[in-house]
Amino acid sequence: MGGIKEFLGSCQLFEGLTEDELEKITRLSREEVYEPGTTIFVEGAAATDLYCVEEGKVVLEMTIRLGPGSGRKGAIDVITKGQAFGWSAIAESLTLTMSARCLEKTKVIALDAKGLWQLFDEDSRIGHKVMQRLVGVASSRLRHSRDMLAHILSVASHDLKAPLAAVESYHRVMLDGYAGEITEKQKNMLLRSSERITGLLNLIDNILDISRIDARELKMEPTSLLKVVESTKGVIQPLAEDKGVQLKVEVPKELPLITGASNRLQQVFANLLGNAVKFTPKGGAVTLKVAEADDHIMVEIIDTGIGISPEELHKIFDDFYRGVRVDSTGAGLGLSISRKIVEAHSGRIWAESPCPETGIGSKFTFILPKTLTTTQGEKEEV
């Protein structure tokens, strides 16, 4: 037991504990040895023990859903000597968020979570120290994940975008006839592959946007929402017409300017209107309403489409979330980017389904604070 106590004293979660405190924790411990490839626990199960690696390596894995029904395991972190894992056992919600698998023969110290809770109740100093260490360890892991994400995003932006942009420009050269004559069939094929590449470049931009959108990085200036609506309408109207969906725009004659990034706000309108058209069958209608209140401007996008189930309603603003009933293209980023943009403007966005006023389809609402009060002239009406 003396060896375990000494080891626990050198572990990241228990550094700084007195001999007496370590002794109490050691009483809750048991040593376990696992063969390479053994799964110690699985994601989604109840967390009953906290673990510290004494020897070996453990990979923490999470199921990454790539689309409805499909999922594969992704490695999130590798835990080595002296590090702890299975923190869910001592932090809400007591459900394991990852699976733990041994990469080599691994010796761990397992600590019974119920016993730990009881100990923390009896001796709040120990609880306080351990929780303080836990916060430190968790925030350093978070920093590590952020650095990894930044690295992945920089690879995505440079190493993926540059060759795709080059391929796209070769397509353009061929389509414009500068590389010799091409047949109608070749032209159609090139056009289609060019469209696919543009889609891929947009997707990469969207992935980059998730981390980039931040109030400090947006170029905020006096912005006319009426102009933003007008230009978005120009993009969405042809899509709606193609699909046989009626687009109605109800905006006031005048609106105060707001402080905002007009290109980003246009992205929000385009995402919400684009979705409304996408999820509304032929013969339906999409209505955009803009109204001014005392301290904010309210935008509503109402459709008569397929609607969103109550179980999905709270997930649709999450990164990469795509509805289970959805078979159309999309990476599930439009709404999460829209939410980030609205929040970077100190606004709020939410969805309701069915739309409370019509009893069908969906209604998306966002509000933006009025921070400037200059009023636009008649010429800027939509």
Among 220, 331, 360, 372, binds ligand ADP (CB under 6 A): 331
- Binding of ligand ADP at residue 362 (CB under 6 A)? yes
| Among candidate residues 254, 261, 272, 259, the one with its CA nearest the CA of residue 339 | 272
Among 137, 201, 326, 360, binds ligand ADP (CB under 6 A): 326
Alpha helices in 317-373 (DSSP H): 334-344
Among 298, 321, 354, 358, binds ligand ADP (CB under 6 A): 321
Instruction: Report the alpha-carbon distance of residue 382 to residue 208 in Å, rounded.
Output: 32
Residues 254-273 that bind ligand ADP (CB under 6 A): 271
| Beta carbons of 171 and 190 less than 8 angstroms apart | yes
Does residue 59 come out as left (phi exceeding 0), alpha (psi in the -120 to 50 range) or beta?
beta
Among 82, 222, 330, 354, binds ligand ADP (CB under 6 A): 330
**Residue 351 C-beta: closest distance to ligand ADP, Å:** 7
**Residue 264 C-beta: closest distance to ligand ADP, Å:** 15
Letters for 288-317 (x = contact with ligand ADP by CB under 6 A, - = none) are ---------------x-xxxx-------x-
Among 279, 347, 366, 367, binds ligand ADP (CB under 6 A): 279
DSSP for 78-141, written as a single string: EE-TT-EE-GGGGSTT-B-SSEEEESSSEEEEEEEHHHHHHHHHH-HHHHHHHHHHHHHHHHHH
| Among candidate residues 36, 130, 33, the one with its CA nearest the CA of residue 89 | 130
Among 240, 255, 290, 335, binds ligand ADP (CB under 6 A): 335
- Binding of ligand ADP at residue 322 (CB under 6 A)? yes
Element (H, E) at 250: strand 246-250
- Binding of ligand ADP at residue 284 (CB under 6 A)? no
- Binding of ligand ADP at residue 240 (CB under 6 A)? no
Neighbours of 305 (CB within 10 A): 22
- Binding of ligand ADP at residue 210 (CB under 6 A)? no
Please, which residues have CB within 8 angstroms of residue 231's CB and are 6 or more apart in sequence?
Answer: 266
**Residue 165 C-beta: closest distance to ligand ADP, Å:** 22
Radius of gyration of the chain from its Cα atoms, rounded to whole angstroms: 27
Between 224 and 336, CB nearer to ligand ADP: 336
| Beta carbons of 49 and 113 less than 8 angstroms apart | yes
**Residue 213 C-beta: closest distance to ligand ADP, Å:** 14
Instruction: Report the alpha-carbon distance of residue 351 to residue 333 in Å, rounded.
Output: 15
- Binding of ligand ADP at residue 276 (CB under 6 A)? yes
**Residue 363 C-beta: closest distance to ligand ADP, Å:** 9
- Binding of ligand ADP at residue 350 (CB under 6 A)? no
Between 260 and 334, CB nearer to ligand ADP: 334
**Residue 360 C-beta: closest distance to ligand ADP, Å:** 11
Between 56 and 332, CB nearer to ligand ADP: 332
- Binding of ligand ADP at residue 223 (CB under 6 A)? no
- Binding of ligand ADP at residue 275 (CB under 6 A)? yes
Is 258 strand, coil or helix? strand
Looking at 55-63, 180-188, 228-236, 324-332, which segment touches ligand ADP (CB under 6 A)? 324-332
| Beta carbons of 54 and 104 less than 8 angstroms apart | no
Is 332 strand, coil or helix? coil
Between 98 and 301, CB nearer to ligand ADP: 301
Please, which residues have CB within 8 angstroms of residue 40's CB and are 6 or more apart in sequence?
Answer: 34, 51, 58, 86, 100, 101, 102, 108
Footprint on this chain of ligand ADP (rule: CB under 6 A): 271, 275-276, 279, 303, 305-308, 316, 321-323, 326, 330-336, 362
